[in-house]
Amino acid sequence: MTPASDDLDAFARALIGSRFSVSPKRLRAPGPSAEQLQAIVEAAGTAPDHRDLRPWRLLRIAPHRRGALADLFEAALLERDPAAGAAERAEARAKAHRAPELLLAVVRLAPPHDDVVEHERYVTLGAALMALLLAAHAMGFGGMLTSGRALRSPAFARGLGLAPDERPVCFVSLGTPSDVRRRPRPSASDLLAEWVPDPQG
């Protein structure tokens, strides 16, 4: 192995091994600059993508649009619970205002492709989001993927301007971590097994 690949190996392990999600409540300003965000999004664009369908996109919710997003969160809450009280409504609205940078990850399910089944599109988006989180982490930013029941509301998706063949998968919050909570990671033996052919088969 060449010294250059040793360096890359050590760097990659340190980068990947030190990434932990940071809750939107613990993300402070500053978020990524426009230039940094561009680099972070381009990292996401390196995801494996069967037949280059590019089956996903990111929708940025700029700071001055957070009030409009809060309206959508509140409407989605009232849609599933018309009796929701003031505290629940305020909590729903607060989700729109937490992180300095907020993106919505959207998967596109059409047009269908004979070689690419639907779940492959989600695999591509997942890989893109991991690359995005790692790129943000390498720049010193924390991030977290969050979903929630509002994302299952067709009215919420329409309010975000999504096309009928698009699904909102999760929000991506980015910012400067005020606190990092590390979690234990599974070991390889938890994740990897050797295939043994069935002697009956």
CB of 148 to ligand FMN, least distance (A): 5
Q: In the complex, which residue's CB is closest to ligand FMN?
A: 21
Closer of 51 and 152 to ligand FMN (Cβ): 152
For the chain, where are the E strands, in sequence order?
27-28, 56-60, 101-108, 142-146, 166-177
Report the nearest approach of ligand FMN to the CB of residue 82 (Å).
23
CA distance 89 to 37: 31
Smallest gap from Cβ 87 to ligand FMN, in A, equals: 20
Q: For ligand FMN, which is the closer residue by CB, 58 or 169?
A: 169
Question: How far is Cα 108 from Cα 122, in angstroms, rounded to an integer?
Answer: 9
CA distance 43 to 40: 5
Comparing CB distances to ligand FMN, the nearer of 33 and 140 is 140
Amino acid letter, 54: R
The smaller minimum CB distance to ligand FMN, of residues 7 and 15, is found at: 15
Q: Given the rule CB under 6 A, which residues bind ligand FMN? A: 20-21, 144-148, 169-170, 183
Structure tokens at 79: 């849609």
Question: Smallest gap, in angstroms, from Cβ of residue 126 to ligand FMN?
Answer: 7
What is the four-CA torsion angle of 73, 104, 174, 81, rounded to 10 degrees?
20
